[in-house]
A = this chain, B = another copy of it.
Amino acid sequence: MTHDNSTHSRSGRSRIEEDRQREEDRARGRGTGAVMRVIVPLQGVVQGRGGVVLGSVIPCALFYFLQLYLKRHRSERAPREEVPPPPRRPSRSPRKPALVSSRALHVIEDENSPYYRGWQAYKENPYDAEHNPDGIIQMGLAENQLMADFMCEVMKAPFNPDQIVLTAGATPAIEMLGFCLADPGNAFLVPSPYYPAFCRDLKWRAGVELVPVPCRSSDNFNVTINALDRAFSQTKKRRLTVRALLISNPSNPVGNILDSATLTMLLEFATEKNIHLVCDEIYAGSVYDSPNFTSIAKVLESGEFDKSRVHIIYGTSKDLCLPGFRVGVIYSYNDKVLKAAQQMSRFCSVSSQTQHLLINMLSDAQFIQQYLSENQRRLRKASLVLTEGLKEAGIKYVKSNAGLYCWVEMGSLMPSYSEKGELNLWDKLLNEAKINVTPGSACYCIEPGWFRICFSTLSCQDMTVALRRIQEFSKRRKRSL
């Protein structure tokens, strides 16, 4: 009997699944199934005629040695000695606590060395000019407080400085949540099209599989509960454990925002499936038109939700236009995740010099307010120039109100309605029109013909040049097709 992952024919699926369960059990070290399948035919072998003694003794001895062998074999294959056993699979019961990864638990536990306990003792002795002048001066708190205040300002929702872990950019923040929420080979569901680099952020080192949840133009690329349910059950059929749903709000690449109803639906879905909900809100302050942005933090305030499964990604790269400063935020409602992430942040600390500058910037609330609104004004203007130009060229796009990009449909310029056709068009845009855009397939979009066009890096003059190139290319292309 040979089958691989590709044999997904509907007929006989249950049998295949049972077999695969058994195989998986064996792969994990439980060899009982194999032993039984050996033993039972052996009884048949010897029960036939004569050789009662041999027929009984040999199989018994065989069974004994096999058990010995398998026992040794099993203990040898403990995947990594020092890692605690993986947590139980999430149950379907809606009120089970959200599980963190076994590696996160390991990191949390790894504080017993006297080396670190010594540090801890040192930490528990805080500086006070009068009462404890030899104590430690805490530098992190001011920044966390200011960052929480800043997030409150941007997202119009409550944030608590104790729930913040700072990282060297949003990229390591996303990776860190991968390490904390998933064990290698676990999956995150991600409504597609999505930010292309999620894949490298989560897969390269944290080993998290991303499973697209396809969204369609007919739904204005909003995620539906049907698509979520389907992706979840298909992923389970692939024997992957889903550990989180990862969304970006405002969405990247589409550039629209998720409303309260959608966010509530996603929260309920995550609770029902006992998975985490990771909300990348890095463009929260880059909403330049109505409707207003709603943070998941705001939705959490409005009802009886299990907060411990919710984690927000933020950073200063987009809304403050400071990508080079490498300042990212994990805002989590889960104590274990906070603790593990705090420990792991040794791998992606923010430069103290940059912390100092940021403290100064964020302390000036008026400056920040003006900065954000001026940034939004410019984004609105640039977006308008781009979309007006696209209209002139007869190119359709999704109406958006956030982010630094526009989600554009150029299917009519493709030689064929396929990923290949899309990549052909992308290649022509790059090498003939000299315009670098992101093809939808790179964002795992299910429909070919969509492209993400960024408008924030160009001056007005450059935007005019770019639009002229697109318009001329479009004309030539339509003639040649």
Chain A interface residues toward B at CB < 8 A: 1-5, 7-11, 19-39, 41-52, 54-56, 58-60, 62-63, 65-67, 69-70, 73-74, 76-77, 79-83, 103, 106-107, 110, 113-116, 118-119, 121-122, 168-169, 171-172, 175, 179, 184-185, 192, 196-197, 199-201, 203-207, 209-212, 214, 231, 234-235, 239, 324-326, 343-344, 346-355, 357, 418-419, 422-423, 426, 430, 436-439, 441-444, 446-448
Contact = CB atoms under 8 A, between A and B. Distances in A.
B326 A1 contact: no
A423 B354 contact: no
21 contacts: A1-B36, A27-B28, A32-B34, A45-B59, A46-B55, A50-B52, A51-B51, A51-B52, A52-B55, A76-B239, A79-B79, A81-B185, A81-B209, A82-B209, A107-B204, A110-B204, A171-B346, A175-B347, A184-B184, A205-B206, A205-B347
Contacts of A26: 31-32
Nearest to A184: B80
A51 B116 CA distance: 68
Contacts of A46: 44-45, 48, 50, 55, 59
How many identical chains are in the complex? 2
A436 B231 contact: no
Nearest to A325: B351
Contacts of A438: 114-115, 118
A472 to B, nearest CB: 18
A70 B69 contact: yes
A11 B419 contact: yes
A415 B456 CA distance: 69
A376 to B, nearest CB: 24
Q: Please report whether the interface of chain A is mostly helix, strand, loop or mixed according to DSSP.
A: helix
B354 A1 contact: no
Nearest to A70: B73
A48 B45 contact: no
Given A1-B422, A39-B41, A436 B54 contact: no
A37 B37 contact: no
B110 A1 contact: no
Contacts of A23: 28-29, 31-32
Contacts of A446: 1, 3
A50 B335 CA distance: 64
A83 B35 contact: no
A156 to B, nearest CB: 29
A419 B205 contact: no
A35 B37 contact: yes
Nearest to A213: B5
Given A35-B38, A168-B347, 11 more contacts: A3-B446, A4-B29, A5-B235, A11-B419, A26-B32, A36-B37, A45-B59, A59-B62, A82-B185, A103-B205, A179-B205
A48 to B, nearest CB: 2
B82 A207 contact: yes
A1 B205 contact: no
A66 to B, nearest CB: 7
A9 B441 contact: yes
A80 B419 contact: no
A355 B324 CA distance: 10
A32 B22 contact: yes
B77 A11 contact: no
A398 B426 CA distance: 65
Nearest to A22: B32
A346 B200 contact: yes
Nearest to A111: B200
A442 B114 contact: yes
A192 B6 CA distance: 12
A297 to B, nearest CB: 26
A419 B234 CA distance: 52
Contact of A69 (B50, B67, B430): B67
Contact of A1 (B33, B60, B184): B33
Which has the most chain B C-beta neighbours within 10 Å: A9, A22, A55, A77?
Answer: A55
A258 to B, nearest CB: 21
With a 10 A CB-CB cut-off, give which of A7, A113, A209 has the most chain B CB atoms: A7
A44 to B, nearest CB: 6
A444 B179 CA distance: 27
A96 to B, nearest CB: 24
